[in-house]
Amino acid sequence: MTTAPQLVVHRDKELMAQAAAARLITKIVDAQTARGTASVVLTGGRNGNGLLAALAAAPARDAVDWSRLDLWWGDERFLPENDPERNDTQARKALLDSVPLNPARVHPMPASDGAYGRDVEAAAAAYATALAAAAGPEDHGPVPTFDVLMLGVGPDTHVASLFPELPAVRETERTVVGVHGAPKPPPTRVTLTLPAIRAAREVWLLAAGEDKARAVEIALSGAGEILAPAAGAYGRARTLWLLDAAAAARLPRGLYPPASP
């Protein structure tokens, strides 16, 4: 079932990051209160890392029981472990190294110098296996029902490493695939597919800056997911677009009702 997108537009990217971090803390605490644990899928890029840095600086971060939080990634650059361009390296620097996570519950995607070597398909299959192992009988298939799955929106409307018209965005069966020939470096990546993304309770799409305005307009105008992958990203219960004013500049004002907290 497609959930209609809700929009929250903030004055600038700094305010957007702070508000999104506060929203995420609340969501994690609510999930832990209800079920004892929470699961979040992280995104890289400037908006994803900005949110993590804002979370690291938020006094309310101590409300989270970090030891009962499962962290996954929506995609990864297929580079050696600890490479500064890897999403998990950047996430550790922004937040993860400063909070008391349970290492067994942090699930980075395989690196290109790891157990699968340069075989990105094997690396993707291994991550799909890890997701399936974490899924319970209450979940809706071979991935956990993530509480929040975050995605940065690229200027070309890509999300995770699902780029317009490339094979990965057309995938309907597998939950994780290797990507070859990505139009931005590095060309080889690992990514969740749309079926995996849509297993999340909530999908949050983050976009800030003038260079994202056209992508936001296209994705919210009814475009198909093959040409505009962001248009195909939605959650089971909620799909939330978190924008700054610059990224929302091309949207008709008043077109979408304000989202509730």
Only one residue has tokens 């192992």, namely: 133
Crossing angle of helices 13-35 and 45-57, in 10° steps, is 70
CA distance 125 to 46: 27
Is 251 inside any structural domain?
A: no
For 173, the token pair is 């069966």
pLDDT of residue 258: 54
> For the chain, how long is the longest CA-to-CA vector?
51
β-strand 5-10 against 38-42: which pairing, if any? unpaired
pLDDT of residue 256: 54
Only one residue has tokens 């209160």, namely: 33
CA distance 132 to 57: 33
The CATH number of whichever domain residue 39 belongs to comes to: 3.40.50.1360
β-strand 69-73 against 38-42: which pairing, if any? parallel
For 224, the token pair is 């198909």
For 69, the token pair is 């939080």
Per residue of the chain (261 residues), give pLDDT as tens. 578 899 999 999 999 999 999 999 999 999 999 999 999 999 999 999 999 999 999 999 999 999 999 999 999 999 999 999 999 999 999 999 999 999 999 999 999 999 999 999 999 999 999 999 999 888 878 999 999 999 999 999 999 999 999 999 999 999 999 999 999 999 999 999 999 999 999 999 999 999 999 999 999 998 999 999 999 999 999 999 999 999 999 998 776 555 544
Is 257 inside any structural domain?
A: no
Is 17 inside any structural domain?
A: yes
Question: Which residues touch 257 (CB under 8 Å, ≥6 apart)?
Answer: 6
pTM: 0.96
Number of domains the chain is built from = 1
Backbone angles phi, psi at 71, to 5 degrees: -120, 130
Sheet holding 69-73, edge to edge: 5-10, 238-244, 202-207, 148-152, 38-42, 69-73
pLDDT of residue 260: 47
CA distance 214 to 12: 17
CA distance 6 to 260: 9
Is 255 inside any structural domain?
A: no
pLDDT of residue 259: 52
Beta bridge partners of residue 191, listed in sequence order? 75, 177
Task: Provide the domain limits for residue 86.
Answer: 5-232+240-244
Distances, alpha carbon 83 to alpha carbons 80, 92, 101, 187, 194, in Å: 6, 12, 21, 15, 27
Angle at 67 between CA 62 and CA 70, to 5 degrees: 110
157 burial class (0-12, 13-18, 19+ CB within 10 angstroms)? Answer: buried
Only one residue has tokens 């936001």, namely: 216
Is 254 inside any structural domain?
A: no
Is 105 inside any structural domain?
A: yes
Is 76 inside any structural domain?
A: yes
CA distance 116 to 112: 7
Cis peptide before 252 (omega within 30 of 0): no
Is 72 inside any structural domain?
A: yes
CA distance 127 to 125: 5
